[in-house]
Chains A and B, each alone.
Chain A
Amino acid sequence: AQRVTQPEKLLSVFKGAPVELKCNYSYSGSPELFWYVQYSRQRLQLLLRHISRESIKGFTADLNKGETSFHLKKPFAQEEDSAMYYCALSGRSNYQLIWGAGTKLIIKP
């Protein structure tokens, strides 16, 4: 079955601490993985995609095909990182996104 799992519904860390939001997936082909973010009172938006291999707002994510994971990391959390984070997957030939249930990240001052 094709599935995206975000095991943590809520993650709370102190400002300046490292952050890792977990994402595991189950997919039979070669997936493309994404992280979308929704800040308070803002709309859902793309944060980054694995194929771009870029760092956005200090966040990075590496696709680990062996562990079927795409964890989102940031070495030093900022208060403005508080938001809902969604991991999503699509196939290389399929535009439909399969979504995780999301993780609420709270950065404590």
Chain B
Amino acid sequence: ETGVTQTPRHLVMGMTNKKSLKCEQHLGHNAMYWYKQSAKKPLELMFVYNFKEQTENNSVPSRFSPECPNSSHLFLHLHTLQPEDSALYLCASSQGLRAGETQYFGPGTRLLVL
């Protein structure tokens, strides 16, 4: 598959569960991003990785733990989430981190925390 893929597409979890979101990009890009999209709010940047190194952590609670084993894969490990964490989680990639780089998005994982 081409582009940016995300699995699972939908996830329901309890507050005590541990789950992981996976993102894979097939574009040969070096930078990958996690965004949170809540209803009627702007996209919130959570984490950025460039060449597997984390370059941004926008004050994200520690119950979200990213992992980037290589430039093509990005994970978001979730544990002890809160209901307010329910949202669409988008992964994106770009060639690099220059200003104005086009970001390519995955389809998202719709997360519901009960």
Contact = CB atoms under 8 A, between A and B. Distances in A.
Interface of A: 4, 9, 32, 43-46, 49, 51, 86, 90-102
A95 B41 CA distance: 20
Given A44-B105, A101-B40, 12 more contacts: A43-B4, A43-B105, A45-B104, A45-B105, A46-B103, A86-B43, A90-B100, A94-B99, A95-B100, A95-B101, A97-B103, A99-B42
A43 B40 contact: no
Interface size class of B (residues with CB under 8 A): 20 to 34
For the complex of A and B, list the 9 residue pairs with the smallest distance between their C-beta atoms, beginning with the closest: A99-B42, A44-B105, A99-B43, A95-B97, A32-B100, A43-B105, A46-B102, A101-B42, A43-B107
Contacts of A32: 99-100
Contacts of B107: 43
A49 B41 contact: no
Given A51-B100, A91-B99, A97 B105 contact: no
Contact of B108 (A43, A96, A97): A43
Contacts of B3: 43
